[in-house]
Amino acid sequence: MALIFTKDNFASETSNGVSLIDFWAEWCGPCRMMSPIIDDLAKEYEGRVKIGKINVDEEMELAENFGVSSIPTLVIMKDGHEVKRFVGLTQKAVLASALDSFLG
């Protein structure tokens, strides 16, 4: 299961290693379509990548800090820094390939 990132745990959860952050909202149809993909990736990369979700309605400050203007927005971070971004529905294989490239 994917983690839930909030302003309280975001920095500590993403400061080391590779993370995938899914910016989403309940009312967003494409976000709901991404949800099972994110959950699958969380299982497959458990222990290697921190995968979590940020509800943009509940964590507006984090969404603003990342300049999120469309959802779903998926951000890959390495050691606390953004290294890749996807906007819109993204295939699982594309995300997995990107994660693998940063796990090196």
The residues assigned a catalytic role are 28, 31
Give first-to-last CA distance, the chain, whole Å. Answer: 24
Packing angle, helices 92-103 and 29-44, rounded to 10: 40
